[in-house]
Amino acid sequence: MKNQATVNYSDGRFQPVIDKCEGCGRIVEQEEVHYCKSYLYPAAKWKLGFCNFATHAKPEINVIKVRINPLKAAKRASKRK
């Protein structure tokens, strides 16, 4: 008896993964084609620059150090009291 809960990735709903998805832990292979098991259209997840489901890539966090004028900082601190 075939399990009804299994997903047939090649039925047309799921799109094959793109180059940026290579190396991800969510990729499954069915009939020698790679599919994402989390999202139907993997190319759409990469459209804005980064896929939030990607297990092989982490987003870059840029920390910007801001210089504050010490005189202005002292004035702001004294106004808050």
Please report whether residue 1 resides in a domain: no
Do the domain assignments include residue 46?
yes
Using pLDDT thresholds of 50, 70 and 90, give the confidence band for residue 1. very low
Please report where in the chains the tokens 């801001």 appear, as a residue: 66
Q: Does residue 48 carry a pLDDT above 70?
A: yes
**Structure-model confidence comparison of residues 59 and 38, the more confident one:** 38
Residue 26 lies in a domain: yes
Residue 4 forms part of a structural domain: no
What pLDDT does residue 5 have?
52
Structural domain includes residue 3: no
52, part of any domain: yes
Answer whether residue 65 is part of any domain: yes
Task: Determine the pLDDT at residue 77.
Answer: 87
Establish if 75 belongs to a structural domain.
yes
What domain count does the chain have?
1
pLDDT in tens, 3-33: 445 667 767 788 889 998 888 998 988 888 8
Domain enclosing residue 49, as ranges: 9-80
Sign of CA dihedral 17, 42, 28, 4: negative
Q: What is the mean pLDDT of residues 40-68?
A: 85
- Which residues lie across from 34 on neighbouring strands? 29
